[in-house]
Amino acid sequence: MQAVTQARAEFGVSASCTALGLRRATWYRAQAQLVRETPGSPMQTRPRKASPGALSSAERNDVLDLVHQERFVDTSISQVFATALDEGIYLCSRRTMYRAVAARGEVRERRDQLRRPAYAKPELLATAPNQVWSWDITKIKGPAKWNYFHLNVILDIFSRKVVGWMIARRESAVLAKKLISATIAKEGVARNQLTVHADRGSSMTSKDVAFLLADLGVTRPTAARTSRTTIPSPKPSSIRSSTGRTSQSASARSRMRADSACASSIGTTTSIGTAGSAG
């Protein structure tokens, strides 16, 4: 750029740019930007030329007086423009009316409505172990088709340590309560020290777990709204016979008996462990 500037007086801009392999538009664009950034340049001190069709100060005040009338307090600018046009009043175009109001900072919802503040996404910060735990339940495949186990994992987000885990045939608030209480007792967590983060699953939002966390002094961050959550009972799968009737399959009846055994005897169908006893 500087070489073209120095050689243009002798060879011209076109010849200098051609010899240096530079486009003329690039050089002219750089010169224009340099002039704009130079303090006191004519391009900075030159006032912007007003449009011949721009409103005068008196005409702009007439537009604002029309918009500020009490009958237009809860109407939009388009409705103000249309109502004035029906009454035979034309002060400016609709877009010019918008610009006049926007210059006063009045372009917003004109109706009296509730305005909520911007929602701040909550964040959980852990600076030491046993401050924030993350609890989640994942389905894993069982030994046969349509058979699944529910893997409960509690992870310390600071140390990434699996502090507690459990495998069960189905989600249950009783089993979740047993897992949390055993994990807190093993880790020796004091009251008002721990925060357990989880989603809004049936086990996470159950009353048993909520009362347990309240008794142990554990914080449970939840959404602003609350909803009643119940634990769904297992629904056996069914097959449709050739006659059109619905009948239970043998595998469904066997799963029903297994679920009944799980409800009556937790220890025989559920494995509860911690990071220290996982092996």
What tens digit of pLDDT does each residue of 188-198 get?
Answer: 888 888 888 88
| Max CA pair span of the chain | 102
pLDDT band at 109 (very low <50, low <70, confident <90, very high): low
For residue 117, give the DSSP letter: P
pTM higher than 0.75 for the full model?
no
CATH number belonging to domain 132-274: 3.30.420
Q: For the chain, what are the domain ranges?
A: 2-43, 57-103, 132-274
Residues 131 and 271: their CA atoms lie apart, in Å, by 26
Q: List, for residues 197-227, the tens digit of each pLDDT value.
A: 888 888 778 888 888 888 878 877 754 433 3
- Note the pLDDT of residue 277: 42
Q: List, for residues 133-189, the tens digit of each pLDDT value.
A: 998 988 888 888 888 898 999 999 899 999 999 998 888 888 888 898 899 999 988
pLDDT band at 45 (very low <50, low <70, confident <90, very high): low
Q: Please count the CA atoms within 13 angstroms of the CA of 100 that sit on its side-chain side.
A: 24
Look at residues 84, 135, 126, 77 and name the one whose alpha carbon lies nearest to residue 106. 77
pLDDT band at 41 (very low <50, low <70, confident <90, very high): low
Residues 30 and 23: their CA atoms lie apart, in Å, by 11
- Note the pLDDT of residue 240: 32
- Dihedral sign, CA of 48, 51, 54, 57? positive
Residues 31 and 96: their CA atoms lie apart, in Å, by 35
Q: Mean pLDDT of all residues in the chain?
A: 75
